[in-house]
Amino acid sequence: MAPTQQKDYYGTLGVKKTATADDIRKAFRKLARKYHPDVNPGDKKAEEKFKEISEANDVLSDDKKRKVFDQLGFYSDNIDPAAAGAYTRGGGGFGGGQGRGGRGSPVDFGGFDFSGFTQDGGSRASESGAGFGSSFKDIFGNMFNGGGRQARGPQPGTDLEYQVQVDFWTAVRGGVTRLDIQRQEQCSTCRGTGAVGKPMECPECHGAGKVTQTAGRMKFDTQCPRCGGAGKVQAACLTCDGEGVVTRREPLEFRIKAGTRDGQRIRLAGKGNAGTEGAASGDLFLIIKVGPHKLFRRTGDDIHVTVPVTAMEAALGARIEVPTIDGEGSHAGRAQLKIPPGTQTGQKLRMREKGVPNAAHEGTRGDQIVEVVIVVPKVQDERSKEILRELQKLNPEDPREGMLAEA
């Protein structure tokens, strides 16, 4: 018999052996959002990775399964935790005191000669010539591997994650957004059980829930691979192929709050993949990607805009009209801004509470920051040139004087 394939479930989830149940749950959910087939359609590697992390999570998130894995280095549904503990304490718990009728022992080793084995994994030939080149752990691993799955039971649905493109105005003012998602729904034919019809006696084990297998002089009982130990079977649902869920694409409509930021993560509880047999559905996470605007730039809840002013407005001061986000639909609003006398190009003026509403604190808004850019007039007529020359004589200061002095 080939040795049992060893798997590092802790390494698969990227956690330490001392990880708590919460650590394992968080690690699985993070990896599931990355490798889920719905997020990576057609990617076989991602699909295989998702199966690996799901298997690791199934074992490590269950205290009894995790205990068996920690003791033996592998896991099978047929291994009883008490028997695993007895094995690790010396190899005598799998067929000793409890016997073939014992509750904790799924294996009957009656009449089997163990003299051909050494406890450190070596072997020596018995008088009958039956030698084995494997340790107790390898042998037990082969017996318990492939014994059939137990009844699946309710399985909670997995989470989904989608990136949503939102235009600038919807993010700032709020609105309704629509998105097509692909998610698993509970099968309406079997109501999530994966089976239809009345339970019948399992033809494999004839209702016993276990079957007897032999390997050389060894004889052991294992869980029936067909009924999973239940002793009864049902026909698989043809609608969902026995999975209990079906994959469908559906339109989703959700509201974007005013002030939603780029990269914000929105959670829609229960909108992920459906669970089976009445288990809870997963959640849907939407990652908001906000589009740009040709005039406005957003930083947090503040709005930045660059506004040109004439040299005379900057020198003498003025009241000018500037665009704001307080408009309707896809149109900007307008507001008055005072330009102080002597304003320089690049100077920034603040308009209080003219920014974006805060999505978390109702009634709170950011500011609008206006950066002034002075536009130099193009002088063509002689009269204007004379006036500017006279102005230059009246104001002879050199703006480069300080720079040249420092150089």
Clarify whether residues 187 and 201 are in a common domain: no
For residue 309, being part of any structural domain is answered with: yes
Query: What pLDDT is attached to residue 85?
Result: 62
Answer for the pair 298, 357: CB distance below 8 angstroms, yes or no. Answer: no
Q: Cβ contacts of residue 270 below 8 Å, gap of 6+?
A: 280, 281, 282, 283
Is the pLDDT confidence value at 95 over 50? no
Clarify whether residues 68 and 94 are in a common domain: yes
For residue 163, being part of any structural domain is answered with: yes
Clarify whether residues 169 and 268 are in a common domain: yes
Give how far Cα 381 sits from Cα of 42, 375, 385, Å: 70, 18, 7
Rounded to whole angstroms, the Cα distance separating 109 from 174 reads: 71
Question: Mind listing the pLDDT tens digit for each residue in 343-378?
Answer: 999 999 999 999 999 998 988 999 999 999 999 988
Clarify whether residues 223 and 268 are in a common domain: no
Whichever domain contains 227, its CATH number is 2.10.230.10
Rounded to whole angstroms, the Cα distance separating 333 from 351 reads: 14
Query: What pLDDT is attached to residue 348?
Result: 97
- Token pair of 295, please? 């005039």
Clarify whether residues 326 and 218 are in a common domain: no
- Would you place residue 327 in the very low, low, confident or very high pLDDT band (cuts 50, 70, 90)? confident
- Lowest-pLDDT choice from 9-18, 39-48, 144-153, 211-220: 144-153
Question: Mind listing the pLDDT tens digit for each residue in 237-269?
Answer: 888 888 889 999 989 999 999 999 999 999 999
For residue 354, being part of any structural domain is answered with: yes
Whichever domain contains 174, its CATH number is 2.60.260.20
Please, what's the b/e burial string for 269-286 (b: 16 or more CB within 10 A of its CB; e: otherwise)? Answer: eebbbbbbbebebbbbbb
Rounded to whole angstroms, the Cα distance separating 71 from 84 reads: 7
- Token pair of 304, please? 């930045």
Other CB atoms within 10 Å distance of the CB of residue 178: 9
For residue 4, being part of any structural domain is answered with: no
Three-state secondary structure call for residue 167: coil
Query: What pLDDT is attached to residue 91?
Result: 47
For residue 318, being part of any structural domain is answered with: yes
Clarify whether residues 135 and 249 are in a common domain: no
Clarify whether residues 133 and 14 are in a common domain: yes
| 355 closest CA partner among 339, 373, 333 | 333
Whichever domain contains 89, its CATH number is 1.10.287.110
Clarify whether residues 277 and 303 are in a common domain: no
Query: What pLDDT is attached to residue 217?
Result: 66
In order, the DSSP letters of 333-372 are: EEEEEEE-TTPPTT-EEEETT-SPBPSSSTT-B--EEEEE
Clarify whether residues 31 and 128 are in a common domain: yes
- Domain range for 37 is 9-144
In DSSP terms, 254 is beta-bridged to: 177
Rounded to whole angstroms, the Cα distance separating 223 from 35 reads: 32
In DSSP terms, 309 is beta-bridged to: 374
Clarify whether residues 316 and 257 are in a common domain: no
| Residue that is written with structure tokens 């163990």 in the block | 114
- Lowest-pLDDT choice from 26-30, 54-58, 277-281, 397-401: 397-401
Phi then psi for 299, rounded to 5 degrees? -130, 105
Q: Single out the residue in 225, 260, 292 at which a domain terminates.
A: 292
Task: Looking at mean pLDDT, say which of 27-31, 233-237, 299-303 comes out highest.
Answer: 299-303
In DSSP terms, 305 is beta-bridged to: 370
| 290 closest CA partner among 280, 278, 300, 304 | 300
Rounded to whole angstroms, the Cα distance separating 36 from 285 reads: 13
Clarify whether residues 219 and 301 are in a common domain: no
For residue 128, being part of any structural domain is answered with: yes
- Lowest-pLDDT choice from 20-29, 75-84, 86-95: 86-95
For residue 149, being part of any structural domain is answered with: no
- The one-letter code for the residue type at 291 is G
For residue 1, being part of any structural domain is answered with: no
Question: Mind listing the pLDDT tens digit for each residue in 226-239?
Answer: 787 888 888 888 88
User: Quick one: which H or E segment has residue 391?
Assistant: helix 382-394
Answer for the pair 245, 193: CB distance below 8 angstroms, yes or no. Answer: no
How many domains does one find in the chain? 4
Clarify whether residues 16 and 138 are in a common domain: yes
